[in-house]
Structures are given as structure tokens and as C-alpha cells.
Amino acid sequence: MKKAAQSSMRLPIMLVVAAAVIVVVVFGIRAIWHKPDASTPSSNKTAGVVVVIDPAHGGSDGGSTAEGVLEKNVTLAVANKMSAMAASFPGLKLVFTRNSDTEMSDAERFAVASQQAAQLFLAIHVNAFGQPTALGIETLVDSVHKAGDASWSFADAVQKSVVAATAAKDRGVKAQGSAFSRLTIPAASTLVGFISTPEERAKLIDPEYQDSIARGILQGVANYVTSAGVTPASATQTIPLDNGQTAKPAGTAP
């Protein structure tokens, strides 16, 4: 009796197991079948939003100087810190206009942006003032821009993030005439502190403070990319530069 009951239970258990196996196999096949849909955007994401980082000045152009500290060295140090932490921001593909003490014209810097199909352009500068009391960080956009447009929102995201990362005085986003009027992608210059003010100059040459600036800038760029919904450009996309002209990314078919 006991044995008969056991064997009569075996059939329903086997049916349940067989049904479970079928469900797992069917859903497994469905998951594999649907993978191409999911992998298309993720492979684009690997490419990242192309962001040109431009450490201003270089070579015989030292930028602002004070007490032997040169703007060109501070901007390059911050850019090199950003390069070192790029892996922490996988949604961004960083392109640097220079990674050594090289002199470059604005045209050469913009050519890098054009060749690399840049989607965002951010220059790094250091501020200077006649009185050794000015403090803080500010981010500039060209005077063609108004609060709420793409360049202004980009500048605002970077400004807020760098101020948060450094606890420096917030001088806000300002518009002024510049060569950036030639760029039709969102572009800004962040001025990361006053070389002319002793306490801020000391911070600007401190590697840990440079780290904070670099992380703040990258987080700000990432915040803008998320809030504005910027997605990596397709390889064949042409990038408008120099008002009215377009440039094809390097290495793509005409």
C-alpha cells in the first residue's frame, strides 16, 4: 500500500518537473532571442557622449601667472586628473585638446572637437584679478547664450557641481563675448579659482584640491548629460561647427 501510494505520486511530480523545465527553456530562449534589442543601445553607451576637455593656454602662452604659478600648468594638472578618473564616468568619452605643455590656437582646439565629433566642449581656465582678495569659481558662456539654453544649462550644471565638490565661493554663470560663438555644440569655460589670491593660489597647486575640481567638473558634465538626455552620437553623424559648416567625424566614410 505504501509502495503503491509512492509510485502513484511519482507521475504528478514528474509532470510538474517537466513543466518547470519547459517554462525555463522557453523563457531562456525568449531572453536570448530578445538580446539584440537590448544590446543595441548598450553598445552605443559604451561609446559614450563625446566631451572635449580643453586645458587652456600652453607652451609660450602661460595664461595668468602669480608668484611663479602658471595658469597653463594648473589647467593641465586638472585635465590630467580628469583623464585619470575617466573610468568612473563610463557614459562620457573624454577627448583632451592637449596632454602636455603644448601651444594651441583656438582654431586648433576647435579642430579637435570637429575631428572627434564632439558633443560638448568644456575649457578649463584660472581666474586673475588686480586685487588679491577675489575668491571663487565661475563658469562662462558666450554672450550669444541666454539662461535656459543648452550652453547655459551645461555651464550651470558644471558650475554647481564644481562648487559643491570644492566648497569654493559660487560666482555663478556669466555670459561674455568669446571665440565660443563659433561653436554650435554646448560649450562653456570654467574658471576654477583666482591665481591672484594667495589662499586660492595655494589650493590651485594642491593635488588633492585639483582632484576635487576634476571630480566636480566630470560629475557636472555627467549631470548635464543625464538631465538634458544627451545620448552618444552615431558614428556617421555630422557635427555642426563654425556656424553653418559641418564636419564629418574622423575615420568615417564620406
Closer residue to Zn ion (CB): 79 or 222:
79
Provide the terminal-to-terminal Cα distance of the chain, rounded to the nearest Å: 83
Q: Residue of minimal CB distance from Zn ion?
A: 125
Ranges assigned E (strand) in 105-200: 120-127, 137-142, 170-176, 187-194
CB of 161 to Zn ion, least distance (A): 20
Closer residue to Zn ion (CB): 57 or 93:
57
Phi and psi for 167 in degrees, rounded to 5? 60, 20
Query: What residues contact residue 120 under an 8 Å CB cut-off, 6+ apart?
Result: 49, 50, 51, 52, 154, 185, 186, 187, 221, 224, 225, 230
User: What is the Rg, in whole angstroms, of the alpha carbon atoms belonging to the chain?
Assistant: 26
Closer residue to Zn ion (CB): 97 or 119:
97
31 beta partners: none
Closer residue to Zn ion (CB): 56 or 204:
56
CB of 56 to Zn ion, least distance (A): 4
Site pattern 35..64 for Zn ion (x: CB under 5 A): ---------------------x------x-
CB of 239 to Zn ion, least distance (A): 25
CB of 191 to Zn ion, least distance (A): 7
Strand order in the sheet with 120-127: 92-96, 49-55, 120-127, 187-194, 137-142, 170-176
Q: Looking at 45-53, 97-105, 121-129, 156-164, which segment touches Zn ion (CB under 5 A)?
A: 121-129
Closer residue to Zn ion (CB): 63 or 193:
63
Among 72, 109, 125, 201, binds Zn ion (CB under 5 A): 125
Taking the C-alpha atoms of residue 113 and residue 142, their distance in angstroms, rounded to an integer, is: 17
Question: Which residues form the interface with Zn ion (CB under 5 A)?
Answer: 56, 63, 125
